[in-house]
Every structure is written in C-alpha cells, then in structure tokens.
Structure 1
Amino acid sequence: MAFRPLGDRVLVKRVQEEEKTAGGIIIPDNAKEKPQEGEVVAVGPGARDDDGDFIKMELSVGDRILFGKWSGSEVKIDGQDLIIMKESDVLGVLS
C-alpha cells in the first residue's frame, strides 16, 4: 500500500466481528454494528504544538485500538475499507 497519513493521523483497518453470538445464533449482515476495534495500518509523523515543537505519535503500526463509534473518515484504498482518524480520536490501545 502506498499511503502515508499526514500529521497526527492514523490509518485503521476494522477488526472483523464474530458472525455468531455466544449462544450460537447467527447475526445477519444488516443487523450487525460496525466494530469499534481496529488495527493500525499506517501512522503519520506526528503533530506540532503552538511553539512549533514536534510531538511524536504514541501509536505504531500493528497496535490494536478502540475508537469512538463516529470517529474518522471511511475510505477505500486498494480495495480495502479503512478509516483515517486523528490520534486523539483513539480511546485506547488493547494489549
């Protein structure tokens, strides 16, 4: 993939959600909610503060993250559905 986010933005691929519930009930596609969990595919170099000092990104490629339901902008790159969002839209990193 030849895409590099600018500033403090990250490119995220949603993690696929389970197709069945714990009880074995199959969930149809139109009833599923989009997962709020993803994997960081690419990160920008970071941002600058008001004084012009460089602020390094805390996220790195491969991190599994949680983000808000309405965070970011959905894009399609190389046939994949991805999300571009600011680092501040990320709620946390899963370990």
Structure 2
Amino acid sequence: MEAQPLNSDSPIARVKATISLGSETYFAEANKGLISEQLYSVKEQSMSILKDFITKHNIPNDVPDEPEEISSEEDDEISPKPPVKKSKNKQ
C-alpha cells in the first residue's frame, strides 16, 4: 500500500480544532492551501470564536463588584482623612 500525499487542492480538511468553552463547543477548520496557511486560518477562526465568546459572556461595567450594603458599612468605620492644607510661601 502506497502513501498518497494530499495536495493543496484536496477537499479534505487537514487542520481541524474543537474548542470547548464551558458547556459550549465550537469548531474551526481549514481545507485549502499549505499546512502553514491552514494553521494560520484555524488560529484566526479560534481567536474570533474566543472574542465572540468573551463579548457574549461579559459582565456589564456598571454593575458593582460588591453589594452596596457591605461597602457602606466599611465607610462608616473608616474615619475620613482631614483635608490637606496648602502652605502659602510669600516671597
């Protein structure tokens, strides 16, 4: 049995990637060009998938990290700093 080299025009995808992010699964594949071109294409697809996933699952910026009740209790315990007085130098 002889080994048959795959040429760049072959319809078979040679580079494939399965990306599992949490419970979601994504697929990236390339089937044209040299192996290095296919790897680059799959890398670009993977980065795009990751960017979309992060954007989709991003927490809005206006939501506070801590509940306000906890932060207000801490503020009561901490005494405010006295204002800094600026010295005026007369020449």
TM range (shorter): under 0.3
Which structure features the higher share of helix residues? Answer: 2
TM-score normalised per structure 1? 0.22
Radius of gyration: which is bigger? 2
Structure holding more strand per residue: 1
Q: Give the TM-score taking structure 2 as reference length.
A: 0.23
Q: Which one scores higher on RCO, CA 8 angstroms, separation ≥ 6?
A: 1
